[in-house]
Structure 1
């Protein structure tokens, strides 16, 4: 969930010039994590104690989330995929170490796997206003997602890219599913976080928009309606970032490992760059009926990559992994142009081998493990300390 935080750090002039000279797109990643007890799998209100131990060198990239049992990081913008991976590993390791010093553990899961009482909101005026306006829409320990920012030339182009992105985002959502277990049981969904998150009034696919002016008008109308406090509560699955010239892809669960997050970022940049070419060539965005798009996102949340999703070209169900491969092939030229193809190929193979976070959680349970075992393993994966990651 985005609560009006600053997002990816401002791009430097030098990096912007380098990207422009090579006609490459920059990217950054935001990740939200849960804080759980050092021994038990339950969420804990430990965020302020964790902040007391955050290393100075990463403090500028760490921020509060909605509840006292969550914390968020935002990588600096990068051109090189290796630099992004290094930044995310450093942030995960640093925040995980701070959590351990505070008597907690850092956990990259989309929702709270164990039962327990509600975790209170962080004591900030904006969060109190959200609670007053929207009531009990976010009970429990909170919801944790991944957001990928990819640079775009301008807002007008960004809106056109949003239109072209719409049919591709369900398979992105399927690839990020990492919250099948909630309150101690398997919910039957690969991403239960997605189902909980949809209760907020502005969550869903971005509508087809003819221009940036229409985008701005709709944002203003939604604020006036009371459905959101401000632009930070525009929870579309892809949107324009409020403070930076980026498209933000933001429908996914937080992913269990840095490798998973880096693969998602590489594919997001490859897709935005590919669609940017289509926009410049004047190709119209696909005409995808909104109910079918909603059905595809529901299927992504339910099945993950291990089941089916809807092929938007044929409007027929297909194995989700086949659609994932189709996405990879579609963006391969831009992966190669950005220098990401070799890394993305390796990481795609690892995801195919390990499965999504949802599949990995269920595998532990299927082998006789408990919710505590799931949390123990995923805390190690989050920190990067598990050799099988």
Structure 2
């Protein structure tokens, strides 16, 4: 659930400086300033024969860590692994890191007779409940929140994006202002239509499963003082076990100088992950550049934002969306187009505008991750073929 500093730089990953998501001070000069961006991706490990999740993270991570160090990590369940990029400044760097990390972990997975699969939920359910990873913190979480820890449908994989900031105040500034745009971003990366071996009818069932955890959802509007007060109260009251369990969709990182976004499914297609990361960085740069002229953050209620995210989880990038500002029901493509326009100044400053438009057009042609999973099932008629499709796409890049 968190990124840590790697012990050593893996072969093939260019050195971009220290292993923290540092950034130049992003002064509100009226011009977008290009920050760093980093990605954390969670994956399933599935058995090569059954295609169901299997508890083999231990040997897979041990093998992969020879090449990756701390860039590969354990996750809550023993059928999951997480990889973390170093801070990147260009789309080429970010894409190269993601491909490298996926390839090395996939090699380690094959040595343990399993496949690396990027999906928000498991397509084929586990034959038996998957144990929680044997660490003091995860064992405590399992005791605190036992009703949520079923080892089956509750196992979900997300993608977390870190955008470098100057300080916590700036991270909170951005977290407050991106709130109305995050449902449209979520819709781009929906990749979990199946759960328990069934079609859920949703494009992102992970969003609903993960939403059962305390604070997993839209963030409230908070400044530096109220953030500290709210975080302390959540822990003191027992609602959360510790501050690292603040799972708001946008939040200041507790361990890095970044604003962290925790809203999307893990994508099998690397291009979708890159698209989400570039759009978020561009949006943050655009919002900072307009800080002196935009006034207060839009005062949209958490309830309306939650409804907008539910629409995104149901329909993805097609069908209807709820505009969090107006409350109107509009085509999802309208909100996505508005998101790309809002990120435009930051995208141009980073040289990412053409690449983002290319990736959006490609996603429109190929369909979302959820649509592609369903298309494979329609053609082949077997869930195991959906898993094979995801495993191939995860490592093909």
Q: Tell me how far apart the structure 2 counterparts of residues 20 and 154 of structure 1 sit (CA, whole Å).
A: 8
CA contact (8 A) 1:34 1:144 kept: yes
* Partner residue of 2:183 out of 161, 170, 190: 170
Q: Tell me how far apart the structure 2 counterparts of residues 8 and 286 of structure 1 sit (CA, whole Å).
A: 35
Q: Tell me how far apart the structure 2 counterparts of residues 88 and 232 of structure 1 sit (CA, whole Å).
A: 24
Q: 1:271-310 CA deviation, whole Å, 9 max, x = no partner? A: 1111112334352111212221111011111111122111
Which secondary structure state, in structure 2, belongs to the residue aligned with residue 281 of structure 1? helix
CA contact (8 A) 2:64 2:104 kept: yes
Which secondary structure state, in structure 1, belongs to the residue aligned with residue 251 of structure 2? strand
Q: Tell me how far apart the structure 1 counterparts of residues 165 and 292 of structure 2 sit (CA, whole Å).
A: 12
Q: What is the correspondence of 1:51-62 to structure 2 with a 5 Å cutoff? A: 51-54=61-64, 56-62=66-72
CA contact (8 A) 1:29 1:75 kept: yes
Q: Tell me how far apart the structure 2 counterparts of residues 92 and 313 of structure 1 sit (CA, whole Å).
A: 38
Q: Confirm whether residue 117 of structure 1 aligns to residue 128 of structure 2.
A: yes
Matched with 2:39 is: 29
CA contact (8 A) 2:6 2:69 kept: no
Which secondary structure state, in structure 2, belongs to the residue aligned with residue 199 of structure 1? coil
Q: Confirm whether residue 251 of structure 1 aligns to residue 256 of structure 2.
A: no
Matched with 1:183 is: 196
CA contact (8 A) 1:55 1:94 kept: no
* Partner residue of 2:88 out of 69, 72, 78: 78
TM-score (norm 2): 0.91
Shift in alpha-carbon separation, 1:214–1:313, aligned structure 2, 3 A? closer
CA contact (8 A) 1:7 1:30 kept: no
CA contact (8 A) 1:157 1:279 kept: no
Shift in alpha-carbon separation, 1:17–1:296, aligned structure 2, 3 A? closer
Matched with 1:99 is: 109
TM-score (norm 1): 0.93
Q: What is the correspondence of 1:253-332 to structure 2 with a 5 Å cutoff? A: 253-281=265-293, 283-332=295-344
Q: Which runs of 5+ in 1 are unaligned?
A: none
Matched with 2:384 is: 372
Shift in alpha-carbon separation, 1:340–1:19, aligned structure 2, 3 A? farther
Matched with 2:49 is: 39
How far 1:326 moved relative to its partner? Answer: 1.5
Q: Tell me how far apart the structure 2 counterparts of residues 326 and 78 of structure 1 sit (CA, whole Å).
A: 26
* Partner residue of 1:339 out of 344, 347, 351: 351
CA contact (8 A) 2:21 2:258 kept: no
RMSD, aligned CA: 2.1
Which secondary structure state, in structure 2, belongs to the residue aligned with residue 236 of structure 1? coil
Q: Confirm whether residue 12 of structure 1 aligns to residue 17 of structure 2.
A: yes
CA contact (8 A) 1:270 1:331 kept: yes
Which secondary structure state, in structure 2, belongs to the residue aligned with residue 54 of structure 1? helix
Q: Tell me how far apart the structure 2 counterparts of residues 224 and 52 of structure 1 sit (CA, whole Å).
A: 36
4+ runs of 1 displaced by more than 4 Å?
A: 7-11, 13-22
Matched with 2:227 is: 215
Shift in alpha-carbon separation, 1:227–1:153, aligned structure 2, 3 A? same
Which secondary structure state, in structure 1, belongs to the residue aligned with residue 318 of structure 2? coil
CA contact (8 A) 1:68 1:122 kept: yes
Q: Tell me how far apart the structure 2 counterparts of residues 167 and 32 of structure 1 sit (CA, whole Å).
A: 25
Q: Which runs of 5+ in 2 are unaligned?
A: 8-15, 27-31
Q: 1:226-257 CA deviation, whole Å, 9 max, x = no partner? A: 12111111010111001111111111110111
Q: Confirm whether residue 349 of structure 1 aligns to residue 346 of structure 2.
A: no
Q: Tell me how far apart the structure 2 counterparts of residues 133 and 267 of structure 1 sit (CA, whole Å).
A: 36
Q: Tell me how far apart the structure 1 counterparts of residues 166 and 57 of structure 2 sit (CA, whole Å).
A: 37
CA contact (8 A) 2:308 2:321 kept: yes
Which secondary structure state, in structure 2, belongs to the residue aligned with residue 123 of structure 1? coil
CA contact (8 A) 2:47 2:115 kept: yes
CA contact (8 A) 1:205 1:238 kept: yes
Aligned residues: 381
Q: Confirm whether residue 108 of structure 1 aligns to residue 108 of structure 2.
A: no
Q: Tell me how far apart the structure 2 counterparts of residues 310 and 296 of structure 1 sit (CA, whole Å).
A: 5
